[in-house]
Amino acid sequence: MSLSRRSLLLTGGAVAAAGALPAGRAVAQDVEAAAPATPVLTSRNPLVEQRADPFVTPPTDGMYYLTGSVPEYDRIVVRGASTLDGLATARERTVWRRPSSGPMGGYIWAPELHRIDGKWYIYFAAGDSDQPFRIRTYVLESPSADPREATWTLRGQMVTGWDSFTLDATTFVHRDKRYFLWAQSEPGIATNSNLYIAEMASPLALASAPVRIAVPTLDWEVQGFKVNEGPAVLIRNGRVFVTFSASATDARYCMGLLTADENADLLDARSWTKSPRPVFTTNAATSQYGPGHNSFTRVGDVDVLVYHARDYRDITGDPLFDPNRHTRAQRLHWNADGTPSFGVPVGRGEPPVRLHPLDAPHAVVRHYEYRMRVDGDVRDLADSQFRVVAGFLGAGTVALQSVNFPDRYVRTDGTDLRIDPYEDTDAYGRAASFVRDESRAGLVFRQGDLHVTHDTGRLVMARLGTSREARQRATFRVG
C-alpha cells in the first residue's frame, strides 16, 4: 500500500477532510464548550518554490506580501494575497530590475519589504556589474498603498560604519524607537559577516553608530564560512528575540538565536545573549537541508516561521547558484518559559498538528522512546507533532504520522500506543488505523469500541467511560 496519502486540512480547531473521507460518529456534545479555533496557516509545504531568503510581511490592510531572492539574482519581485496560503498561487510582479551596468548591476539578494509612516520600503543587497560580490545595501521607496505597483524610486545606499560587504538588512520598532539590524564584514575582524544594530534617524539613514552584537565563533557558525547573517526580529514575552543564519549556504546552513530583555538598552552589546546551540538545523529524516534566512509573520494570534530550505543534501557547484531553496512556512510554538520552540523543518505536505487532552489543555500528546505519552512543557517540539493522514483501512479511517520520524505511524501494541515504522501488512494497517470522531469540543480516535485516552501519563486504548471526566480524557483539541 502506498505511503503517499492525502492529508487532512487543519481548519477551525479541528481536522476536516480534504477529500471524501467522512468523519466518524459525532462525539457527545456536552463534553466541553467549543475548542478555540486554530487559524489555517497554509495547506502546503513548500509554500513557494525557488524563492530563497523569504520575507513575508505581517498582515497589512488585510494583505500578506512576499518577497525574496530569485534564482537569477537580477530583480525584485512581490506577490500579495489575503491569506498566507494564497501567496502560493498569487501573481508575482517585478517591481525593480537591476541596471545593465555599474553599481547594483551585479547580484541582487534578500529584499525585505517594510511599511513605515505610510510608505513602503524595500531594503536589498546588490553587487556591481563588474564586481557582483561587491555587495552593499540599498533602499527603494514607494508611496503606493499596494507594494506591487510600479511606483518604486531608488533612494540610494544605506550608509553604515564601513564601506564593506553589507547585506540582509531588516528594521523594527521597539519602545517608540526604530532600529536597523544587518550583517556586515567589519575591517579588522576575520569573518565573512557579523551582526550590527543602530537606531534610525529615518527609513533612509542611521542615527547612531553601529553596535556589533554577534560574531561567528561557535563551531556551527563557521562551517565553510564564518557567517552571521539574515537577522529577523520577534518581540514576545518580555524579550527581544533575533534569529540569524550561520555557516555556508549548503546543508550546513542553520539558524541561531540572540535574546535581550525588552527593558535593556538594545544598543549595548552586553544586552544580547547568544544561545550556545543552533535552534533550527538540517533534518535528514524530513529531507530538509540548510534551513535558514527566515522571517516571521502572524495568522490570527499564531506566530509563523517563514524560511527557506532544500529537499536534498548534495549540490553540484556553488550552493548559491542552486535554485531550489524553497519558501516554507510552519507554526512557531512557545515553551512554558516564554522562549520560542522551533522544532524541525517539516517535510513536504500539509501542516502538522499537536493534540491536547481536553482535561489537560497545557499538556500534549507526544512520543518518547517511540512510546506515546501525554506530558507538559514538551521542549522537543517535533516529538509532539503529527500529520493526520488517510488511514490504511480505506475511507472512514485516519492514521497519525510522526513529523520527525515520517516513516513511523501511531499504532496499538496491546493497550499501549507507540510509533513504529510502516509495514505493508494487514496487521500493521489494522493497528495503525483509527476512526476519527469530531465535535465542537475536539477529536476522538477509536478502534471499534476502544478509544485513545490517557492514564497517568500513558496514552492507551480503553473503553470510553460514562463520566464527563472520562470523556474529556479521550477528547483532544488541535493546537
Catalytic residue among 32, 53, 128, 186: 53
What is the spatial distance between Cα 44 and Cα 238, in angstroms, rounded to a whole number? Answer: 32
Q: Which long-range contacts (CB under 8 A, 24 or more apart) does 248-252 make?
A: 248/223, 248/224, 248/319, 249/290, 249/319, 249/320, 249/325, 250/224, 250/289, 250/290, 250/313, 250/315, 250/319, 251/282, 251/289, 251/290, 251/310, 251/313, 252/223, 252/224, 252/282, 252/290
Q: What's the confidence (pLDDT) of residue 25?
A: 39
Starting at the edge strand that comes first in sequence, how are the strands of the sheet with 273-274 ordered? 228-236, 239-246, 254-261, 273-274
Q: Which of 168, 221, 229, 383 is catalytic?
A: 229
In Å, how far are 58, 159, 196, 434 from 173, measured between CA atoms?
Answer: 14, 20, 16, 48
229 is catalytic: yes
C-alpha span between 242 and 432 (Å, rounded): 41
Give me the residue label for grid cell 513529523: 403
| pLDDT by residue, tens only, the chain of 479 residues | 333 333 332 322 333 333 322 333 333 344 444 445 566 788 889 999 999 999 999 999 999 999 999 999 999 999 999 999 999 999 999 999 999 999 999 999 999 999 999 999 999 999 999 999 999 999 999 999 999 999 999 999 999 999 999 999 999 999 999 999 999 999 999 999 999 999 999 999 999 999 999 999 999 999 999 999 999 999 999 999 999 999 999 999 999 999 999 999 999 999 999 999 999 999 999 999 999 999 999 999 999 999 999 999 999 999 999 999 999 999 999 999 999 999 999 999 888 999 999 999 999 999 999 999 999 999 999 999 999 999 999 888 999 999 999 999 999 999 999 999 999 999 999 999 999 999 888 999 999 999 999 999 999 999 998 899 999 999 999 98
The CA-CA-CA angle for residues 52, 55, 58, to 5°, reads 155
What own/partner pairs with CB < 8 Å and gap ≥ 24 does 117-123 have?
A: 117/203, 118/143, 119/143, 119/203, 120/144, 120/147, 121/171, 121/203, 122/67, 122/76, 122/95, 122/96, 122/147, 122/152, 123/158, 123/169, 123/170, 123/171
For the domain made up of 52-341, give the CATH fold: Tachylectin-2; Chain A (2.115.10)
pLDDT at 26: 39
The per-residue pLDDT for 9 is 29
Residue 2 confidence (pLDDT): 33
Rounded Cα distance between 195 and 185, Å, is 9
**Matching CATH topology for 9-39+351-478 and 52-341?**
no
Q: Active site includes 413?
A: no
Residue ranges covered by each domain of the chain:
9-39+351-478, 52-341
What is the pLDDT at residue 38?
61
- Looking at domain 9-39+351-478, does it have CATH number 2.80.10.50? yes
Whether the full predicted model's pTM is greater than 0.85, yes or no, is yes
